[in-house]
A and B are shown apart, each in its own frame.
Chain A
Amino acid sequence: DQQVKQNSPSLSVQEGRISILNCDYTNSMFDYFLWYKKYPAEGPTFLISISSIKDKNEDGRFTVFLNKSAKHLSLHIVPSQPGDSAVYFCAARMLTYSGAGSYQLTFGKGTKLSVIP
């Protein structure tokens, strides 16, 4: 049962326009949500996060919105640039208590964004 869903495998956007990537989750125990960006042959890199107690977080061209009642979050990229072309993973954090304590991330399947010049 997939707890974090990215229902769009791919998205194409013109350079300069807005890119909106969506993510849905099912588990109310998630307390933090993160977006990772991945280029081919590289590991994912952290992009932006949002706490479950907030509804918006902004970092330059990137904004993440969280709608807790709908269990939905979205990543907005404005304006989109060709260098933004990558796979974007949504991830949700749940606290675990194992020994010293840690957290686990559950990832969605990713959305491949193509920004067309």
Chain B
Amino acid sequence: NAGVTQTPKFQVLKTGQSMTLQCAQDMNHNSMYWYRQDPGMGLRLIYYSASEGTTDKGEVPNGYNVSRLNKREFSLRLESAAPSQTSVYFCASSEAILVQVDSPLHFGNGTRLTVT
């Protein structure tokens, strides 16, 4: 039972390069999320997808794009990486699609990205 799988685990980019972080979940969850974690900071929401076919901005969306490819997969793209995007990125999923459902997030193990 893999849960939430993120690839790659580590990545080093040069300023201006682009890349896509991949995320897949096998729990048949409806909602998926991308967070970033910086030293001394909590997790901050970048983008989320409440259900297949929808995406919305979170707290810190600038410099990122997302694609909800299907119910399982939610990718995060950096079009032109900047040093400020050096961070650990976590993908998460939850069963919840309706606000009445109490459903904790299930996180992947993260992608550690360094932009030089």
Q: Which residues of A contact B (CB under 8 A)?
A: 4, 6, 9, 32, 34, 36, 41-46, 49, 51, 89, 91, 95-110
Contacts and interface: CB of A to CB of B under 8 A. Distances in A.
B54 A107 contact: no
Interface stretch (B70-78, B79-87, B106-114): B106-114
Nearest to A109: B42
B96 interface: yes
Nearest to B103: A103
Interface residues on B, range: 20 to 34
Nearest to A6: B42
A45 B109 contact: no
Contact of A49 (B41, B50, B102): B102
B109 A42 contact: yes
> Interface residues of B: mostly helix, strand, loop or mixed?
loop
Given A43-B108, A101-B50, A102-B51, 9 more contacts: A41-B110, A42-B110, A44-B105, A51-B102, A95-B99, A99-B51, A106-B42, A107-B42, A109-B42
B18 to A, nearest CB: 24
A98 B98 CA distance: 11
B60 interface: no
A89 B107 contact: no
B101 to A, nearest CB: 9
A105 B45 contact: yes
Contact of A43 (B4, B30, B51): B4
A44 B41 CA distance: 14
A21 to B, nearest CB: 14
